[in-house]
């Protein structure tokens, strides 16, 4: 779907500040975070630069063009299908040697490109002084120093981009060592004309020699016996000469070239001081101290949300109650009154009960993400994840799940093995997302006390562990070991955190709120027509006899499938009480059972949709079945205990 | 020579060989771990948890499961100091 506007692709290794740079140009439209692989899908944006419209695209971070995780495959197919007019390679200047390995691959690819030498301030702080002009000469590509988080260098970068779009900035390939260069050139010449050329013949030849034979190009070669023979003999000649596998030699060649370019273009001052982040890291990653700190962070997280949310909620509930009283006096008791009340409950419930907890949660999540704590939590929790058959890399999707299960399922793309993806995706719907946290805080913490809510979380985590353990019996394939980059800590910027919160909030208002309002109005209508009783009677064997809940709650549980908060708002409406007087209609034990059931039963509609899309129909329905079974079992246990 | 999983903490080590299956090796190369790089074990998770390995050559850190660290053969760097 090539656009009429020139397309500019942002590509870089994870945590190179790619999305931050993209945001600086496109405005608050893409999410960024300090965890490898969290920009899980690409973001398009059309921007107007000095009167010219560019279609700019932010792709997920990739360490290399030899993909080893699903997220990286997206990039390759995008690069080949859409043939961008310009590639902006964002490079983390503070780890230039490593970052240049991808740059070298992109130069081989040969699309017009510019290097954005990002976080140049961080490099200076580490005692690494890079000469951009020299780097430019060595790479043969324009190099623009930038500090994306402060918007430095963005103007120069855009000017260079416009220049390159007009003048095609050609990229000349860098040469390999003699023998490898010979093999590459030889193979490139012999590519049959009908084979799909990726990028250019030279790049295709390189990838045929080094890429995983099971991945696209290799499969192509399988279909051409003559070509396969050429490739195999080229590989064999290299391997015989260098006594190592071809892919390792190619990687080592690139590594040495990258290091050489780094050394020639940079001046590293020795005896650099221990920076603040190294000192902080020594403490939060400490083999013993790290764990109490992790616990404290979680507790602080929970109490901050509860305290801030509770206060906001108390302030907002008063006016909401008065508004409803005013309205009922005004509209009487007819259909109009029912609909009006439904509307106010849906709108007001969103403002007064949901948002007070939702906003602090989003903000704190953004803080942890930006700081780079998620990867660290992955390191600390790896041991425990092994107990449930996964490893530390699944921690980030899980933590993201506390915000919303949908991006969490998407972010499982960073997991290399399909087995880990399947198990993680099946467990994510059990993570209490912000909607469920709202219910837990508004019902359990508010009516039974904050420690009950903490207990709830503890029970929840335990349940996930048990389910994970059980699931890992069914998925037998071995899981690859943990290899997870720990990015350097970054002081979170208020601007990014506010931006991210705003973005999430916007999508809540756009998608979830209309559902809340519509749900409330539908319930009002059903109540007015008396149809709610028929539905409730149908559910009463489960709701009344099984769970011991008041019959009117049956219908609200069903609506929880659309959106979990909807169950909370509709619960008040169905019971016909004010939030403050909830205990007059339902006991504390029933509140607990209700929360347990709503939390675990069925992934919400959006989560179901994303599970289907990402992991297939089988896993999506398995997830539904699993969660219904777990919800019923867990609620019965809770009912029996209390 | 010993395996990275058994290496002393806080000492510069030189990677002598990266063994193991193709998947693991490719992943390590992509994250900038190659033969001859200098690395250092900085920390570890409790209960035989993963190792926090700093690559001194690239100035990056990677959390590595013990199984993975077991595949990396290292030696004390001679130019220590």
Number of C-beta neighbours around residue A17 at 10 A: 27
CB contact under 8 A, A98 and B59: yes
Residue with tokens 């169950």: A567
Chain B positions touching A259 (Cβ under 8 A) are 57
Give the number of A-B residue pairs with CB atoms closer than 8 Å: 126
Q: What pLDDT was estimated at residue A197?
A: 65
Measured between alpha carbons, how far is residue A23 from residues A167, A328, A626, B7 in Å?
Answer: 26, 47, 39, 43
Domain range list for chain B:
2-76
Chain B positions touching A63 (Cβ under 8 A) are 30-32
Each residue's pLDDT tens digit, B1-48: 899 999 998 899 999 999 988 888 998 999 999 999 999 998 888 888
Tell me which DSSP letter residue B53 carries. Answer: E
Band of residue B70 on the pLDDT scale cut at 50, 70, 90: very high
Measured between alpha carbons, how far is residue A89 from residues A174, A319, A325 in Å?
Answer: 16, 53, 60
Q: What pLDDT was estimated at residue A19?
A: 80
State how far the Cα of A65 lies from the Cα of A362, in Å rounded to an integer. Answer: 33
Axis-axis angle for helices A418-427, A605-615 (nearest 10): 170
Each residue's pLDDT tens digit, A432-460: 988 888 899 989 998 899 999 999 999 99
Burial A59-93 (b: 16+ CB within 10 A, else e): bbbbbbbbbbbbbbbbbbebbeebebbbbbbbbbb
Measured between alpha carbons, how far is residue A529 from residues A239, A339, A551 in Å?
Answer: 79, 12, 17
CB contact under 8 A, A480 and B50: no
State how far the Cα of A145 lies from the Cα of A152, in Å rounded to an integer. Answer: 8
State how far the Cα of A397 lies from the Cα of A70, in Å rounded to an integer. Answer: 15
CB contact under 8 A, A63 and B26: no
State how far the Cα of A227 lies from the Cα of A207, in Å rounded to an integer. Answer: 13
Q: What pLDDT was estimated at residue A1?
A: 41
Kind and range of the H or E element at A292?
Answer: helix A290-331
Tokens of A575: 């019971």
Tell me which DSSP letter residue A147 carries. Answer: B
Q: For domain A7-167, which architecture applies?
A: 3-Layer(aba) Sandwich (3.40)
| Cβ partners under 8 Å of residue A381, min gap 6 | A294, A392, A395, B45
Q: What pLDDT was estimated at residue A218?
A: 57
Residue spans of chain A under pLDDT 50 = 1-3, 28-31, 33-40
Q: What pLDDT was estimated at residue A5?
A: 85
Q: Which of A63, A382, A481 sits opposite B30 (nearest CB)?
A: A63
Residue with tokens 């969660």: A627
Domain range list for chain A:
7-167, 178-268, 290-479+491-641
Q: Which of A63, A383, A488 sits opposite B46 (nearest CB)?
A: A383
Q: What pLDDT was estimated at residue A195?
A: 65
Residue to mutate among A266, A382, A390, A395, with most B CBs inside 10 A, is: A382
Measured between alpha carbons, how far is residue B36 from residues A141, A178, A437, B74 in Å?
Answer: 28, 21, 49, 9
What are the DSSP calls for A495-550, one per residue? HHHHHHHHHHHHHIIIIIHHHHHHHHHHHHHHHHHTHHHHHHHHHHIIIIIIS---
Tell me if B11 sits within 8 A of B26, measured CB to CB: no
Chain B positions touching A291 (Cβ under 8 A) are 46
| Cβ partners under 8 Å of residue A126, min gap 6 | A94, A272, A275, B59
Residue with tokens 């559902």: A515
CB contact under 8 A, A382 and B34: no
Number of C-beta neighbours around residue A562 at 10 A: 17
Q: What region, left, alpha or beta, does residue A611 occupy, with left being phi > 0 and alpha being psi -120 to 50 degrees?
A: alpha
Kind and range of the H or E element at A167?
Answer: helix A154-167
Q: What are A's interface residues with B at a Cβ cutoff of 8 A? A: 63-64, 66, 68, 94-95, 97-98, 101, 126, 212, 245, 247-248, 251-252, 255, 259, 282, 285-288, 290-291, 375, 378-383, 391-392, 416, 480-486, 488
Domain A178-268: which CATH number of 1.10.287.3510, 1.10.287.1770, 1.10.10.10, 3.40.190.10: 1.10.287.1770
Kind and range of the H or E element at A558?
Answer: helix A554-559
Tell me if A443 sits within 8 A of A568, measured CB to CB: yes
What ipTM does this complex have? 0.92
Q: What pLDDT was estimated at residue A383?
A: 86
Chain A positions touching B3 (Cβ under 8 A) are none
Axis-axis angle for helices A290-331, A355-371 (nearest 10): 150
Q: What pLDDT was estimated at residue A632?
A: 92
Query: In 3-state terms, chain B is what percent helix, strand and coil (to 5)?
Result: 20, 35, 45
Q: Which of B30, B35, B52 sits opposite A285 (nearest CB)?
A: B52
φ/ψ of A113, rounded to 5, equals: -150, 160
- Distance in Å, alpha carbon of B5 to nearest chain A alpha carbon: 13
Residue with tokens 């193709």: B22
Q: For domain B2-76, which architecture applies?
A: Roll (2.30)
* Residue whose C-alpha is closest to residue A224's, from A238, A208, A200, A203: A208
Tell me if B64 sits within 8 A of B51, measured CB to CB: yes
State how far the Cα of A94 lies from the Cα of A292, in Å rounded to an integer. Answer: 31
Each residue's pLDDT tens digit, A35-69: 444 444 556 777 888 788 888 888 888 899 887 77
CB contact under 8 A, A63 and B31: yes
- Distance in Å, alpha carbon of B18 to nearest chain A alpha carbon: 10
Residue with tokens 């709650």: A553
For the whole model, what pTM was predicted? 0.84
Q: What are the E-state strand segments in A201-292? A: 266-268
Residue with tokens 């596998």: A245
* Residue whose C-alpha is closest to residue A265's, from A174, A157, A140, A149: A140
State how far the Cα of A142 lies from the Cα of A88, in Å rounded to an integer. Answer: 10
State how far the Cα of A470 lies from the Cα of A387, in Å rounded to an integer. Answer: 11
Q: Which residues pair with A625 in a beta bridge?
A: none
Chain B positions touching A378 (Cβ under 8 A) are 63
Tokens of A273: 């001081």
Kind and range of the H or E element at B14?
Answer: strand B13-18
């Amino acid at each position: 779907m090539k656009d009429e506007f020139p397309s500019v692709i942002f590509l870089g290794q994870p945590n190179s500040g790619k999305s931050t740079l993209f945001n600086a140009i496109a405005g608050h439209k893409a999410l960024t975070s300090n965890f490898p692989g969290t920009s899980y899908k690409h973001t398009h944006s059309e921007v107007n630069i000095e009167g010219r419209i560019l279609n700019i695209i932010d792709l997920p971070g990739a360490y290399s063009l030899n993909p080893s995780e699903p997220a990286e495959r997206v990039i390759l197919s995008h690069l080949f299908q859409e043939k961008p007019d310009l590639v902006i390679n964002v490079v983390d200047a503070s780890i230039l040697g490593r970052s240049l390995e991808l740059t070298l691959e992109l130069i081989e690819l040969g699309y017009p490109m510019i290097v954005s030498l990002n976080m140049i301030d961080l490099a200076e702080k580490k005692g690494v002084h890079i000469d951009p002009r020299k780097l430019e000469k060595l790479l043969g590509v324009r190099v623009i120093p930038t500090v994306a988080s402060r918007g430095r260098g963005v103007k120069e970068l855009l000017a260079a981009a416009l220049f390159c779009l007009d003048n095609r900035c050609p990229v000349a390939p860098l040469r390999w060592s003699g023998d490898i260069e010979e093999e590459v050139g030889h193979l490139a010449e012999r590519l049959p004309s009908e084979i799909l050329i990726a990028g250019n013949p030279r790049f295709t030849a390189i990838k045929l020699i080094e890429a995983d034979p099971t991945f696209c190009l290799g499969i192509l070669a399988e279909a051409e016996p003559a070509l396969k023979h050429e490739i195999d003999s080229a590989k064999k000649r290299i391997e015989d000469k260098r006594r190592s596998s071809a892919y390792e030699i190619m990687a080592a060649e690139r590594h040495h070239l990258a290091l050489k370019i780094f050394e020639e273009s940079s001046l590293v001052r020795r005896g650099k001081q221990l920076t603040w982040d190294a000192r902080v890291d020594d403490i939060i990653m400490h083999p013993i101290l790290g764990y109490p700190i992790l616990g404290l962070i979680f507790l602080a997280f929970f109490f901050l949300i509860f305290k801030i949310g509770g206060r906001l909620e108390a302030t907002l509930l008063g006016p909401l109650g008065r508004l409803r009283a005013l309205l009922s006096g005004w509209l009487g008791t007819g259909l109009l009154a029912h609909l009006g009340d439904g509307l106010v409950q849906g709108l007001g419930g969103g403002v007064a009960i949901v948002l007070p907890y939702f906003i602090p949660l989003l903000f704190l999540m953004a803080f942890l993400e930006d700081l780079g704590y998620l990867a660290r939590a992955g390191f600390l929790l790896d041991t425990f994840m092994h107990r449930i058959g996964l490893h530390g890399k699944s921690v980030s999707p899980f933590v993201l799940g506390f915000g919303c299960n949908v991006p969490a399922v998407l972010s499982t793309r960073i997991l290399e093995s399909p087995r880990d993806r399947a198990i993680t995706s099946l467990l994510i719907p059990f993570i209490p997302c912000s909607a469920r946290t709202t219910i837990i805080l508004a019902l359990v913490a508010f009516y039974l006390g904050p420690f009950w809510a903490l207990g709830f979380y503890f029970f929840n985590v335990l349940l996930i562990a048990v389910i994970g353990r059980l699931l890992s019996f069914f998925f037998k394939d071995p899981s690859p070991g943990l290899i997870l980059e720990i990015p350097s800590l970054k002081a979170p910027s208020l601007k990014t955190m506010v931006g991210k919160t705003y973005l999430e909030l916007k999508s809540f208002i756009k998608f979830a709120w209309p559902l809340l309002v519509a749900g409330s109005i539908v319930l009002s209508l059903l109540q007015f027509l008396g149809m709610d009783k028929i539905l409730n009677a149908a559910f009463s064997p489960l709701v009344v006899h099984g769970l011991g809940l008041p019959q009117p709650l049956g219908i609200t549980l069903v609506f929880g499938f659309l959106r979990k908060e909807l169950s909370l708002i509709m619960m008040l409406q169905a019971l016909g009480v004010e939030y403050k007087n909830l205990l007059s209609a339902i006991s504390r034990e029933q509140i607990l059972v209700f929360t347990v059931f709503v939390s675990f039963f069925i992934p919400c509609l959006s989560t179901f949709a994303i599970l289907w899309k990402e992991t297939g129909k089988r896993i999506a329905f398995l997830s539904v079945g699993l969660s219904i079974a777990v919800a019923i079992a867990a609620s019965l246990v809770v009912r029996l205990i209390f | 020579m010993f395996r990275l999983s058994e290496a002393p903490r806080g000492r510069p080590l030189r990677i002598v060989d990266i063994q193991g299956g193709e998947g693991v090796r490719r992943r390590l190369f992509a994250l900038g771990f190659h033969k001859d790089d200098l690395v250092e074990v900085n920390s570890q998770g409790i209960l035989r948890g993963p190792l926090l390995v700093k690559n001194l050559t690239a100035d990056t850190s990677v959390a590595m499961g013990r199984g993975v660290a077991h595949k990396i053969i290292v030696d004390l760097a001679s130019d220590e100091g």
